[in-house]
A = this chain, B = another copy of it.
């Protein structure tokens, strides 16, 4: 294992220390926690997200005006504990309640739920939105149902905008549920990622091999085969997405190509270019685009394509300016 780290046990603590030190205009660390919170004042429903670390800039990079109030940083690929999530809820509570945005992994679901129960004892209203946008497989290594992956970032953005505009916890929870149904993702991987404390890759692929449908912790996908040209990969992934969305010509969508960590931006733009062409041939109108590394998997090589069904309101919220490190 070759990494720019010190003790593998301390990677998350040192990362959070570096992050809040580098960006004090955006974030602060809640003392004696691994919670990264907004470093400005606000008066709205708090939005709390988080999960295992290793997906940077998710989620701490999306903390700030217009997106999250706090991100809880678990150990690498490990759910944060209920007490840490509870600290995030307490630290960001402005008396208007809290919406938690949770990726669908069993550990996350359980621990965010327990934190909600702890907060209930303080009379803090808490509800949650569960993100399960990964359509590659049903159930998975750490999941009942579908996994939550890159689409979560779009949920942060849209619900973050609505919370800033004064929506209540119940309004956000209710809208969030319908929003998640309109966001779907499929990933591919060209190589695995190494958790520092483990010291070797979670999975390996041959020199000429790729895997379709891999999760953001290296969970198995649905097929391995020889690497194919970008345009052919995009064709298969867009067909998968079409199978879920059943779009018609003229429908409006957002197209989000997300890098898994080690894939150069050059390749992400080529992959975007291929996906966009296929969608144009289908008559699908892409009114919002985003390309880059937003929900990574340490140094995994690969990329995911997320599509989101758009209306004017969602498009407006996606385009609203925010004050975060990474959006």
Contacts and interface: CB of A to CB of B under 8 A. Distances in A.
Nearest to A227: B2
Contact of A190 (B2, B14, B208, B266): B2
Interface string A12-52: 10111111011100000000000000000000000000000
A135 interface: no
B264 A56 contact: yes
Majority secondary structure, A binding face? mixed
**Interface residue tally of chain A, by bracket?**
35 or more
Nearest to A255: B22
A2 B206 CA distance: 10
Contact of A299 (B18, B229, B263): B263
Contacts of A4: 188, 190, 230, 233, 263, 267-268, 270-271, 303
A185 interface: no
A174 interface: no
A87 B135 CA distance: 45
B301 A265 contact: no
A274 B15 CA distance: 10
Nearest to A280: B21
A167 to B, nearest CB: 26
A248 interface: no
Nearest to A319: B25
A18 B293 contact: no
Contacts of A271: 4, 18
A18 B269 contact: yes
A320 B233 CA distance: 40
B266 A22 contact: no
Given A4-B230, A191-B2, A210-B2, A264 B21 contact: no
A229 B2 CA distance: 10
Interface in A226-269: 227, 229-231, 233, 255, 257, 261-269
A3 interface: yes
Contact of A265 (B56, B207, B257): B56
A226 to B, nearest CB: 10
B207 A2 contact: yes
A144 interface: no
Interface of A: 2-7, 11-12, 14-19, 21-23, 53-54, 56-57, 61, 76, 188, 190-191, 207-210, 227, 229-231, 233, 255, 257, 261-274, 276, 289-293, 296, 298-299, 301, 303, 326
